[in-house]
Every structure is written in structure tokens, then in C-alpha cells.
């Protein structure tokens, strides 16, 4: 794919879906700005990419849960024309809302909602002015229903889905597109973060490969698809809340979470 040495920015790029998406961009010749909080893994990601693809890579070690971090990033890259933004960084927490740590809750909300929204707010006007650009936001299958025992995670992913669909509509005719990727369970380090202090996931059915999910989302982004849900079973699960009452769906999610984390 010819891109005339364009530049893409990827958050949460040190591992998992972020790294796989960075590899796909590098394969197509995009220069990269890779952002992650883990400096060691970020350096390893850069080394691994450069072994295969001779591109330019800028690394930014940033904690995306901090207030005004999006402005800090934008100020550092302001002289670089950004053609693609992939907002991949995220984490989850398991537990009842009344019992989770508020500081950690706040970090997740800042990361998923505030930083992602602010970064788009800063970069999007430049894209619109040029008449070109693509944004890929990482939501989740969790976005389609409430999620007891991961209440804020599900809610924040619902925000990303709604926000992405809305601004995608606003951008029609501008040459800029927004895609929101909503994968189901994917075998990445995310699972380890969610499971911290718990046993490993008991439900491994429908666990996707990050390479496959990244490839699906990457293709959807380039095809300017708005909502991308990889896998037929996941597509079915995404419409299940429309077929059942919201209360019933919430109860089903609770039972799955209980079984998955052995909380019963």
C-alpha cells in the first residue's frame, strides 16, 4: 500500500493489539509515533519493528492517565503531520464499584475517555483542514451492555463507541474517517491486568488472537467502516441486548463475570 511516507500515532503500542497494529502500519511504510507507559517494552517493540521494516520511529514514554497528557503529547508532535491516530491504550479492573480503588478508577476514566477525546480534539482539526486522515478507536464488545463487576470499564467503552459513531457522522464529506473497533476477549496482556489478584480467566471460549483482531481492525479502518466487530459470534453478542431486556442482559453479564473470575 503506497502511502508516500505518512505518519501514524499509536497509543498502548508496546504490546498486544497496539504492537500488532504498529507492525501493520510499518509494513505499509508509515513512519510511527509509538506511545506507552512501559519504556522497556516500547524499546523492544521499536527494535522488533525495525528488524523488519526500515521506517522512522519516535517513542514517547507517557502515562496517558494523567491530566492534560494529551496536550503534552500534541505539543511534542505539533510539527509532525499525523495521518492516522490509533487510540489503543487501555486497561480494566475487576470488582464491585463500591470496593475498587478510586484513584485507579479515575486513571482508567482519564485514559479511556478524557485523554482519548482530548487527543482527537487536538489532532482532528488539522486532518479536516487537509481533507484527509483516519482515526481508529479501540472500544470493546463490552460497549453494548452494562457490565457488573467491571462497571466503569464497560461504561467507558460504551462512551468510546457512541462518541466514535457520532463524530464519524459529523465528518462525512471531510475526507476524514473514524472507525471504532469492538473486539471480544483477546489474548493480550490486558487479561493479566484485569486478573491481577484473581485466578486466570476460566472462560477461554471465543478468545481471539491479537494478530487477527488487529488485521480486522486495520482493514476496517482503511475501508472507512464505522463500527468493526471481529467474529460472527461477537456480532451476534453485540445485538443480543436488543433482543433481550436490558435488565436480563445485565444479569447474564454478571453470571459470566462470576464464572470467569470464580467470585461465587
The answer to whether 226 touches 134, Cβ cutoff 8 Å, is no
Query: Residue 194 has what pLDDT?
Result: 47
Mean pLDDT by 10 residues, the chain (264 residues): 78 97 98 98 98 97 97 95 98 95 97 98 98 98 94 97 98 98 80 43 63 97 98 84 78 79 54
18 touches 36 (CB < 8 A): yes
Q: Is 218 part of the annotated catalytic residue set?
A: no
Catalytic annotation, pick one of 74, 98, 153, 216: 153
What global pTM score does this model have?
A: 0.88
C-alpha cell of 262?
Answer: 470464580
Residue 1: what pLDDT?
44
**What pLDDT does residue 262 have?**
63
Domain ranges of the chain: 7-261
Beta strands 57-61 and 31-36: pairing type? parallel
At the fourth CATH level, the homologous superfamily of domain 7-261 is NAD(P)-binding Rossmann-like Domain (3.40.50.720)
Amino acid at each position: 500500500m503506497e502511502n508516500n511516507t505518512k505518519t501514524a500515532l499509536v497509543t498502548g503500542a508496546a504490546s498486544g493489539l497496539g504492537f500488532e497494529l504498529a507492525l501493520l502500519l510499518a509494513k505499509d511504510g508509515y513512519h510511527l509515533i509509538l506511545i506507552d507507559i512501559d519504556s522497556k517494552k516500547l524499546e523492544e517493540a521499536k527494535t522488533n519493528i525495525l528488524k523488519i521494516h526500515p521506517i522512522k520511529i519516535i517513542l514517547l514514554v507517557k502515562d496517558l492517565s494523567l491530566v492534560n497528557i494529551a496536550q503534552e503529547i500534541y505539543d511534542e508532535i505539533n510539527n509532525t503531520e499525523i495521518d492516522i491516530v490509533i487510540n489503543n491504550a487501555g486497561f480494566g479492573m475487576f470488582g464491585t464499584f463500591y470496593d475498587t480503588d478510586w484513584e485507579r478508577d479515575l486513571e482508567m476514566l482519564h485514559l479511556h475517555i478524557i485523554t482519548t477525546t482530548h487527543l482527537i480534539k487536538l489532532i482532528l482539526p488539522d486532518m479536516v483542514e487537509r481533507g484527509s486522515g483516519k482515526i481508529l478507536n479501540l472500544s470493546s464488545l463490552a460497549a453494548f451492555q452494562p457490565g457488573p463487576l467491571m462497571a466503569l470499564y464497560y461504561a467507558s467503552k460504551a462512551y468510546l463507541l457512541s462518541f466514535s459513531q457520532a463524530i464519524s457522522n459529523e465528518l462525512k464529506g471531510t475526507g476524514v474517517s473514524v472507525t471504532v473497533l469492538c473486539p471480544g476477549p483477546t489474548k493480550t496482556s490486558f487479561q493479566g491486568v484485569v486478573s491481577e489478584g484473581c485466578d486466570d480467566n476460566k472462560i477461554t471460549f471465543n478468545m481471539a488472537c491479537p494478530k487477527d483482531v488487529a488485521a480486522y481492525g486495520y482493514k476496517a479502518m482503511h475501508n472507512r467502516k464505522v463500527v468493526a466487530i471481529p467474529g460472527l459470534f461477537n456480532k451476534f453478542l453485540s445485538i443480543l441486548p436488543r433482543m433481550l431486556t436490558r435488565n436480563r442482559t445485565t444479569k447474564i453479564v454478571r453470571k459470566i463475570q462470576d464464572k470467569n473470575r470464580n467470585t461465587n
